[in-house]
Chain A
Amino acid sequence: MEGNPPVSPISDLILKFYATKPFSTPAMLGALDGALSRHLRDWRRGLRVLPESQEDRDSGTPLGELSLADGLARVAPMKFGMCGANLVGAYDGVAAFLQCSRRGIPPESNLLTVEVVDLDVVEGLPIAEWARNLFTAVAEAVALRYGQARTRAEFDAKNMIRERGSTRAVGVNLKRALPGLYWLNFFGSEYLHLLGLERLATAPAPIVERMGDGVLVGLGHDPGAWDTTEYRQVEETVRSHIGREYFFSKSDPEGLTKAPMFLAHADA
């Protein structure tokens, strides 16, 4: 990417996708599987669906020709209207954690987390480029409420509190506010309704794209640059443009905030 600043050496990224519909239906899982197959082709060949308590790649049997929906139904069927499973692939360093809920309430209950650890190249691409490709592919294929992609360090700085032997996350309740602005942010239909398409589409950010049911806003091309002055300036400008009241802030954790009204799924 000519003209872009050099990418900082990072080897871990977290992508989170908060789905509008239950991450348990064949349609949703089929769309997700399609995106994974395109951007994690080699990894997908050895895909295993594991119970939430297992993360070892040697556990379980590769899905093979089975669909993701079939694999999930076998390993982690719905219980009390909820399910959860871990997805591991043909090689270490990439894992996905799936949570689903029939009701869809709270809004975080249908969540896919893709975690990359200790890899600076994924499927032949630099990690940042690959992550952006996967992020946009999932956002286009799956109906999302919200999505974020960032390093763990960026999230730690903005949403984690570590003190006196305690480690906890703050500001992660979407019913209260957006947890923050990160490297990549996807605002789905509920946020479009709340904030307006124009406001999001005119965000003063290096990356603004309309895709799927929402808008992608990226604060830069380098996820590792989150702690630089330039990045922080962009972040502040975008935050002001969208509205500070929509975001959690660690410096004002009790501040009044606004959020969409999330409804339970009608077919729950």
Chain B
Amino acid sequence: MIPHRLLSWRALLLAAAAVLAAPAQASLPGLDDLATASQAPTTSLQTAMPRELPGPCEGDQCGEPDAPQPKTRVRGFELDLYCRLGGEDGLSCRPRQVWLEEYGEGASDRLVYAKARYFDPELGRFLSQDSYLGELTEPPSLHRYLYANDNPTRYVDPTGHMSDEKFSPEINEQRELKKKEAQAACLADLNGCLSRAMAAQEAGQRLMNRITGTLKAIGGGLGVLGGGALAMNAEIPGAPVAGLLIMERSAELAHSGTTQMVTAVPDETRQEAVVQQKLEELGLSREEAALIKALGFTSIDALGGALGARSLAPTTPSGKALETPQIGPMGRGNQKAYADQAEELVSEHTGVPRNPQGPGQQTIPGSGSGGTRVPDLKVRGPEGSVRLRGTVIEVKASRGTSFGDLSDRSRKQLLDAVAYARRLRARADMVKDGQTRTLLENARVEVFSDLPAPTSGKFADLVEQGLIEWKAIPR
């Protein structure tokens, strides 16, 4: 199902296409190709020509019937923070509103007229390609829909054509002021700010990995990620400020190089085969790829927000009295009550809320229905913060006497949680903040069980690796 925001994005693109003159002659091969490989063969960037764009004009002079009417502010935009983990101070943030103010008058409630082209603040992308083709030595500049090389903490784009690191004194002053305000706000609530940023990262990481892999598969578009950045917006219900995180991917992708990036797959048939193979490898349908393309290329923000809003709903600390169910004699009929009691006990013991079944539940990728698994206790904290303890907590209540009594279903659940912990560990080196990195490096599964710890076999091996910590249910 296509999300509402995606539909509106498509409508906007159609409107923009009507306004703008010639169709693009060149495009970076990317997820576009996964979605429509057989219909839309790509062209090498090396042969691309600048597209014809309407010349710079001022306000009403533009004259197109569908041109957006000027307004000065974009609704709700002041709430966004654009934060970077790492750097000299460990964290720097600025409101994304600055993106608009650099253009001054001319913003509609959806689109910003950026002199040479239109900029969609909600998508964080221009709606037409930059007439400036970019420099091969600067991969981000080759992506002609990005604003300011997708790095607005460093660059501005005052003309709509190029990213410029040199600011006018006025803009500089404004940027510094905004930056300091945002930094102060962030520093006043550093934990919250970091938490929100990490939550945004988590929400979008899985998708980013897919995008990255997909882009690599077709040898295109790496410049979009390499050397640049992706922004993800976590819209957190009830939180006063949404967190945005820029993830630097240049180090990880540097080996792919510029040469590969500009080499499009010329042959349509071969391209289709490559695309099909990669889709199968990634386990993606063509429709999924199309959706990711739409979101990834033009609206990572929207996706991060959607994921964030879904998975980061505020939680209420458990304040209710522990209800002890009446546990009857042995038998499966009482297993649910027995498990409920165990989960409640572990929740009280660890301070980690139980994960509700239904609205507000948090999931991890797994082998359950829909490719997900619902951990017994929550894996992410209040206000969408970083995972509660760097662990996934599983509760395995059992009346058995040895580890061998653990059911196959429970083993699969534990292995899903272990796989999640392994993925967190694999991400640790991408995080610059030392504390968070340590947390991720030591990601593990805390298993609270009535059964004794495994002494041999696969699960004993996982305990030895530190991926599982085995604990008794505090009955």
Contact = CB atoms under 8 A, between A and B. Distances in A.
Contacts of B472: 164-166
A167 B464 CA distance: 9
B458 A55 contact: yes
A266 interface: yes
Interface in A91-118: 95, 97, 99, 101, 103, 105-106, 108-109, 111, 113, 115, 117
B422 A53 contact: no
Given A80-B419, A82-B426, A105-B426, A167 B453 contact: yes
B66 interface: no
A105 B429 CA distance: 8
B469 A167 contact: yes
Contacts of B206: 80
Contacts of A115: 456-457, 460-461
A78 B213 CA distance: 13
A219 B255 CA distance: 41
Interface of B: 206, 209, 213, 252, 255, 281, 283, 365, 408, 411-412, 415, 419, 422-423, 425-426, 428-429, 441-442, 453, 455-458, 460-461, 463-466, 469-472, 474
A264 B209 CA distance: 15
B465 A166 contact: no
Contacts of A162: 453
A167 B426 contact: no
Contacts of B453: 162, 167
Given A82-B426, A105-B429, A172-B464, A166 B469 contact: yes
A253 interface: no
Shortest Cβ-Cβ A-B pairs, 7 listed = A165-B472, A167-B453, A168-B469, A167-B470, A169-B466, A172-B466, A53-B411
Contact of B426 (A103, A159, A166): A103
Q: Kindly name the residue among B281, B415, B425, B458 whose own CB sees the greatest number of chain A CB atoms within 10 A.
A: B458
Interface in A63-107: 78-82, 84, 86, 95, 97, 99, 101, 103, 105-106
B466 A175 contact: no
Contact-residue bracket for chain A = 35 or more
B466 A170 contact: yes
Contact of A173 (B252, B466, B469): B466
Interface in A14-46: 14
B349 to A, nearest CB: 11
A260 to B, nearest CB: 13
B75 to A, nearest CB: 37
A166 B446 CA distance: 10
Contacts of B466: 168-170, 172-173
10 contacts: A53-B411, A82-B419, A99-B422, A103-B426, A106-B426, A113-B461, A115-B457, A115-B460, A152-B455, A162-B453
Interface in A150-170: 152, 155, 159-160, 162, 164-170
Nearest to B454: A167
B461 A82 contact: no
A52 interface: yes
B471 A155 contact: no
A55 B442 CA distance: 26
A23 to B, nearest CB: 14
Nearest to B447: A167
Given A109-B425, A115-B456, 16 more contacts: A52-B415, A55-B458, A80-B365, A80-B419, A103-B426, A106-B425, A106-B441, A152-B455, A152-B460, A159-B464, A162-B453, A165-B471, A166-B471, A167-B470, A168-B463, A169-B466
